[in-house]
Amino acid sequence: MKISEIKLPIIPDSPQQVFLPYFTAKEVIKSVFKVDTLKGVPKMWYQEDTYLNHEEIKNEFWIIGLRSNHDYEDHYPRDLYIGSTNILKESLELHYFILTPETIKEMFIPYNPFLYLVNSEAAMIKENK
C-alpha cells in the first residue's frame, strides 16, 4: 500500500486543481485516510496504489475548502465531502469537498471566467505532453 499526500487549498471558496490516480470522485473519497494540518499547511493523505497501473492514471479533480456556518448543501452534497481541518492557529476551519471538472465548469465559470482560463491552460499543457 502506498500512502501519498497532497496540499489542500488554504483560501476559502477557491478551488484547486489536482490530478489523482482515480476515475471518479467517489473513488477519491474512499481512498482518503485523513485530512489534517501539518506545520500550518492543510493536507490530505490517501492511498495512491488502488490500481496496478496507478502511475499511468492521472485524472483531473478539483478540491475546494469551505468555511463553517454557511449553507452549501445546494452546491456541495455530503457525499463529496473528504474532511475538515483547522488552519491559521485554529482561527479558520475549512471543510473540503472533491469536485469533477464538469462540476467546476457548471458552478464557477459563469461567476469566475479566470477559472476557465486556468482550466483551459492546464488542459492544453496536458494535451501537449
Query: In this predicted model, what pLDDT tens digit does every residue of 71-100 receive, in sequence order?
Result: 666 667 788 899 999 887 767 889 999 998
What is the rounded distance in angstroms from the CA atom of residue 31 to the CA atom of residue 24?
11
Residue 105: CB partners within 8 Å, gap ≥ 6? 116, 119
Query: In this predicted model, what pLDDT tens digit does every residue of 104-119 receive, in sequence order?
Result: 777 765 445 455 455 4
Q: Is residue 118 part of a domain?
A: no
Q: Which residue has the higher pLDDT, 81 or 122?
A: 81
Instruction: Please give the residue range of the domain that contains residue 79.
Output: 3-101
Q: Is residue 120 part of a domain?
A: no
Is 119 in contact with 101 (CB distance < 8 Å)?
yes
What is the number of domains present in the chain?
1
Measured in Å, how far apart are the chain's first and last C-alpha atoms?
A: 28
Run of H or E including 105 = helix 101-107
